[in-house]
């Protein structure tokens, strides 16, 4: 659920830019090929990074949360976004396809166990992956927790967050006729997947702008004008997942199954003023997860690039490298 918003000062906490030592397109089946890269130390501690969205794609900045002397850093673009192909495709693109892709990447790279690092939708995917393959994660490092529940989606797309940002919400909501405003996800879906590319792009930009406008605690209520091609892929994929309640078997499934990861240590880093994924979800997760530690960051919103969040994520990864693990 994020890509563009953030604070430049956050980069002061990150490691210097690095280039990958390995880049490839991996055929994951169903007509999909995903972009995969590795950077850092080929013999280091493996960590896989799960980007947000769905549909956000990974960025070079994501490599910089890890000391490259100690970590083997694995990034990939999930189906349909970033450099993966076919672009903006929702065919054979579900949570369960992505969980299978993560396992395919692990086996392709010959890794037995790894750390799983993800924020927002990436945290959702990390939790579902861990609950499906509980013997594979060495630990979970999560940020801006989203549990994929109806309550969370209604908060963000049903007017809850809009009560704090009425002028920003109006730009998003007023594009939909009053008779369809009982379900904004369905109303946007109708237009994002309609026959007119111009209309698709118009509504894709509005969808992305609403989210990006609320990502940072320093927001002025405007999320910028995302490039049309990126906005279309991001918004179509995100809408597709949210329309289908992120393809979970039932509402609340992640907390229902959290006992499956009780043996896995984890750190949850949450912005106190996260308007996209309110802290209640992170608190509920930490309450029910025996080895999950919640670190609430004051004066921080949702974005990965919030200074306090970036600083804490780097601190956690440095601690893991120093002591050889979590918990």
Distance (Å, whole) CA 168 – CA 208:
12
Pinpoint the alpha helices (H) of 91-196: 95-108, 121-132, 150-157, 166-173, 184-192
Residues 6+ apart with CB under 8 A from 179: none
Specify whether 89 is catalytic.
no
Nearest to 119 by CA among 203, 53, 188: 53
Specify whether 196 is catalytic.
no
Do 9 and 307 touch, CB atoms closer than 8 A? yes
Q: Annotated catalytic residue: which of 77, 302, 305, 310?
A: 302
Q: Annotated catalytic residue: which of 39, 84, 120, 235?
A: 120
Specify whether 120 is catalytic.
yes
How far is CA 34 from its chain centroid? 16
Q: Annotated catalytic residue: which of 2, 77, 101, 274?
A: 274
Number of neighbours of residue 21 by Cβ within 10 angstroms: 14
Three-state DSSP state, 119: strand
Q: Which residues have a catalytic role annotated?
A: 120, 274, 302
């Amino acid at each position: 659920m994020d890509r563009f918003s953030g604070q430049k000062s956050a980069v002061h906490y990150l490691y210097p830019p690095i280039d990958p030592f390995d880049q490839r397109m991996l055929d994951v089946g169903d007509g999909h090929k995903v972009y995969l890269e590795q950077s850092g130390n080929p013999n280091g501690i493996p960590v896989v990074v799960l980007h947000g969205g769905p549909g956000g794609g990974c960025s070079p900045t994501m490599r910089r949360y890890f000391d490259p002397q100690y970590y083997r850093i694995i990034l990939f673009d999930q189906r349909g976004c970033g450099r993966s192909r076919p672009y903006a495709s929702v065919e054979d693109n579900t949570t369960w396809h992505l969980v299978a892709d993560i396992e395919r990447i692990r086996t392709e790279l010959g890794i037995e166990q790894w750390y799983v690092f993800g924020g927002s939708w990436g945290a959702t995917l990390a939790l579902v992956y861990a609950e499906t393959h509980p013997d594979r994660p060495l630990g979970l490092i999560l940020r801006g927790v989203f549990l994929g529940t109806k309550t969370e989606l209604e908060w963000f797309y049903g007017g809850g967050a809009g009560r704090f940002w009425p002028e920003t919400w109006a730009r998003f909501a007023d594009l939909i006729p009053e008779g369809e405003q009982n379900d904004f996800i369905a109303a946007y879906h109708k237009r994002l997947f309609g026959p007119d590319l111009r209309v698709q792009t118009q509504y894709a930009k509005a969808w992305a702008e609403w989210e990006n406008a609320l990502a940072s605690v320093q927001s002025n209520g405007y999320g910028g004008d995302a490039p049309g091609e990126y906005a279309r892929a991001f918004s179509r994929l995100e809408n597709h997942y949210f329309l289908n309640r992120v393809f979970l078997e039932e509402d609340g499934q992640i907390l229902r199954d959290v006992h499956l990861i009780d043996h896995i240590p984890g750190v949850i880093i949450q912005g106190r003023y996260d308007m996209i994924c309110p802290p209640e979800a992170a608190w509920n997760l930490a309450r029910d997860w025996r080895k999950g530690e919640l670190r609430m960051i004051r004066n921080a919103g949702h974005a990965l690039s919030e200074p306090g969040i970036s600083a804490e994520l780097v601190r956690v990864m440095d601690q893991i490298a120093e002591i050889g693990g979590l918990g």
